């Protein structure tokens, strides 16, 4: 006797967890990709690329941009192996900014500044910390030593509570010593809080 056709088994869809929803938000904001660090680097580049005036017509713009993404990812990937201290972080940051700036200038784009390099590196790390240790392990010990991404929103918000003004647009700031004095000033201003913790609250309030 032939059996009656059985209805297909319906799949069971569990209610998404908070981690599932967080993964959804990451995908919406950062895009698709398995390499979380590369996603952070790519997203951080979008926070500064509008300031790269004249870069679009550079004859090697695509090649230079792609190789710079690889360089920033390589530099940031090296951070977890360093001892977690302010001295080590500051040394890493100065060298990393110089490398990124030098990469563009060696590629024939002389307008790339330390201000743009710091924005790319500092925003990449801010996104790395937002991703969390489960996705990008090894960075959390460096959180309290990380630099604030210098941009107009943060500087304006910090001025309300006594922060310094910029001598020029952040993207044109090309004296690393002047940049570093800003970071030291903010550290003193926000102590004992981590600078990035203060930046997080002030940046949101400045929107």
Residue whose tokens read 């004249």: 54
Q: What is the dihedral of CA 166, 170, 173, 177, to 10 degrees?
A: 60
| pLDDT, tens digit, 9 for 90 and up, residues 132-150 | 999 999 999 999 999 999 9
Cβ-contact 171, 113 below 8 angstroms: yes
Confidence at 2, pLDDT banded by 50, 70, 90: low
| pLDDT, tens digit, 9 for 90 and up, residues 102-133 | 999 999 999 999 999 999 999 999 999 999 99
Residue whose tokens read 């993404």: 69
Q: Helices in 78-194 by DSSP H: which ranges? A: 86-106, 114-131, 152-159, 176-190
Cβ-contact 176, 131 below 8 angstroms: no
Give pLDDT, residue 206.
Answer: 63
pTM: 0.91
């Amino acid at each position: 006797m032939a059996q009656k056709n059985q209805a297909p088994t319906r799949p069971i869809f569990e209610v998404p967890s908070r981690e599932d929803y967080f993964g959804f938000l990451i995908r919406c904001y950062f895009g698709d990709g398995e390499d979380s660090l590369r996603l952070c680097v790519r997203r951080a580049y979008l926070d500064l690329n509008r300031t790269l005036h004249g870069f679009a017509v550079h004859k090697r713009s695509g090649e230079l941009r792609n190789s710079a993404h690889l360089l920033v990812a390589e530099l940031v990937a090296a951070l977890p192996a360093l001892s977690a201290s302010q001295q080590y972080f500051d040394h890493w940051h100065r060298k990393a900014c110089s490398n990124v700036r030098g990469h563009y200038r060696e590629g024939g784009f002389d307008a790339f500044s330390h201000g743009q390099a710091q924005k790319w590196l500092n925003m990449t790390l801010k996104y790395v910390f937002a991703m969390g240790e489960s996705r990008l392990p090894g960075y959390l010990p460096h959180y309290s030593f990380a630099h604030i991404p210098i941009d107009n929103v943060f500087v304006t918000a910090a001025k309300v509570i006594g922060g310094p003004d910029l001598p020029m647009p952040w993207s044109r700031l090309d004296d690393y010593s002047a940049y570093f004095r800003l970071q030291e000033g903010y550290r003193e201003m926000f102590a004992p809080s981590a600078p990035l913790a203060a930046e997080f609250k002030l940046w949101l309030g400045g929107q």
